[in-house]
Structure 1
């Protein structure tokens, strides 16, 4: 791997947007990192990084070069490990992004067991509701909920995340426990409104019909634009909420939320693993994806 040192350094600088942090993470001097990248730019005849006093950004040529470099580094890692025994410990860094509620409720609680089995594995776990840029931000893989709209990405279906309806016990004491769709109106129920962008129209309360799903617009005084805030609003008794079974189950088991209308569940959310690489993934990334798929299975419809 020594002959690939310049590519390794360049990729890490591109991902961390800093020569200093990249050098520290690789255990080399900042000056060494700068020299290697500068020599790489001279060899390729292109400016790969745009440097300012505050940050380092990929140029257009740099983005294209980075994508191919990541493929090459993954293939080199596979070549190096192709004769290793199948039970060997995984090592190296994985950068992954997934919805915050999945990270908090399922993945992070299971990480100790994974890292105990593979102590040289490093996980950089981003959990956000926004759609990250896999190439620009250097992610090995991401978990996406809902449709994949970017045709340049490669998606592998994981299944459909089960959804449930819930409310706090305090809220149900005040408004009553709905048992039918009509009860939502006759009992004066309210819902917490989730929307990605404020000012957009609320999607309403989703329920199944004979040939699909429809929505019922219920009143509500609170609008939020993040899933964790949406759940917290439900826990605070501000209205009914609809969320993933994986993230709401701990609250239901703990008694801070109560499931309602179990026969009128919202449509399950399609879940996918998404990668940007069109070639081989490293052994550790494939292993992490398989592990994540296994721990998520109980929460899929």
Structure 2
């Protein structure tokens, strides 16, 4: 019995909670995976998994063996990566998932540059605001927004987005320009809601260094950044959106900033990946490239667009984000920007 392979197979079965999915991800027949686990249990003299027709679960011995296995496998991968990283040319399939606004407005306009640098990487770009299980879906990394809490994922801060409160001239002609937070009570908001909870994200403003949340009433809410912007441009209500999304329309006069003296809190943006991908050459070069992409433009580092961007593809399209819960749990952070 190949004990190292058995350890890998066992860990994968536990991670995806399925013999069939583990076999698919490892490129092995299901019967082979079953036989390997049986042989491993026989070799160790303990039962590692409880099996029923519907589910599998770890025994106490299985849980202890899984913890030790993960450490051993991580150490082996790290050791190999240390020696291979310099010599190995990044290659293979790289699966990433990003919010639709970030993908369409930031990554896609610059993706030719990444392809030119790393032609041997097959990039699979998912653009969604849904929760992604990186392990079960075999996703290498995600870009997400929000304040990060402790989690099993490795996080690299790559930038931040400033938000703006604004409205179309047609809306302001009908309802007037608010000058105080109290004035907002007589205005309508076009809200953005979370796919997971169905609740609209709260509005806030930073006044003298303190965050003030405001309950905004509105008769419409959407969960798509492009629809949110389009309806705002049509005058359906005040909107809070990422400045990088709104900037071209602010410059053209299609949107007018409201309460510019009090801006919403800045949203940090991070690239997250499982610890097992930490030293993967393809993840490492993508992480470095996307961090460099954000670094080139102050607008992608919390600026308001007045500084200008340098060497960024199509800066007039530069982006904005869909807001994530600022105090979200790690699970919530996998939903949307």
1:119 aligns with 2:120: yes
State whether structure 2 residue 266 is matched by structure 1 residue 265. Answer: no
Shift in Å, 1:118 = 4.3
The answer as to 2:298 corresponding to 1:300 is no
Corresponding residue for residue 307 of structure 2: none
Deviations 1:142-189 (A, max 9, x none): 44422223366654443432222344566456556x4x6249939954
Q: Residue 264 of structure 2: SS of its match in structure 1?
A: coil
Matches within 5 A, 1:147-162: 147-150=147-150, 155-162=155-162
Which consecutive unaligned segments of at least 5 residues does structure 1 have? none
Change (3 A) 1:12 1:121: farther
Inter-partner Cα distance in structure 2 for 1:49 and 1:282: 33
Say if 1:203 and 1:105 are closer, same or farther in 2 by CA, change over 3 A: same
Judged with a 3 Å threshold, the aligned counterparts in structure 2 of structure 1 residues 111 and 199 are, in CA distance, closer, same or farther, namely: closer
1:240 to 238, 241, 249: 238
| Comparing 261-270 and 273-282, the one that deviates more | 273-282
SS of residue paired to 1:128: coil
Change in 2 beyond 3 A, CA 1:203/1:51: same
Measured at CA, do residues 268 and 186 of structure 1 come closer, stay the same or move farther in structure 2, by a change above 3 Å?
A: closer
Query: In the aligned structure 1, how far is the partner of 2:6 from the partner of 2:294?
Result: 37
TM alignment of 1:102-141, pairs within 5 A: 102-111=102-111, 113-115=113-115, 117-121=118-122, 123=124, 125=126, 127-130=128-131, 141=141
For the 8 Å contact 2:167–2:257, the answer to whether it is kept is yes
Confirm or deny: 8 A CA contact 1:97 1:141 kept in the other structure: yes
User: Does residue 1:185 correspond to 2:152, yes or no?
Assistant: no
- Structure 2 unaligned regions, length at least 5: 303-337
1:74-223 equivalences in 2 (<5 Å):
74-84=74-84, 86=86, 88-92=88-92, 94=94, 96-111=96-111, 113-115=113-115, 117-121=118-122, 123=124, 125=126, 127-130=128-131, 141-150=141-150, 155-168=155-168, 171=171, 174-175=174-175, 178=177, 181-182=179-180, 185=183, 189-196=187-194, 197-198=197-198, 203-204=202-203, 206-223=204-221
Residue deviations 1:227-267 (CA, integer Å, cap 9, x gap): 66645653554322212234445x73997963523554311
| Whole-angstrom CA distance in 2 between matches of 1:149 and 1:12 | 25
Task: State whether residues 75 and 281 of structure 1, in contact with CA within 8 Å, keep that contact through their aligned partners in structure 2.
Answer: no
What CA distance in whole angstroms lies between the structure 1 residues aligned with 2:278 and 2:92? Answer: 16
Aligned residues: 292
> 2: distance between equivalents of 1:28 and 1:126?
30
State how far apart, in whole Å, the 1-side matches of 2:149 and 2:276 are: 17
Give CA-to-partner distance per residue, 1:2-37, whole Å, 9 cap, x none: 874444444555555555555455444333333334
TM-score (norm: length of structure 1) = 0.68
1:69-118: per-residue Cα shift (whole Å, max 9, x none)?
A: 55544543443344447374213455555444334432355445435514
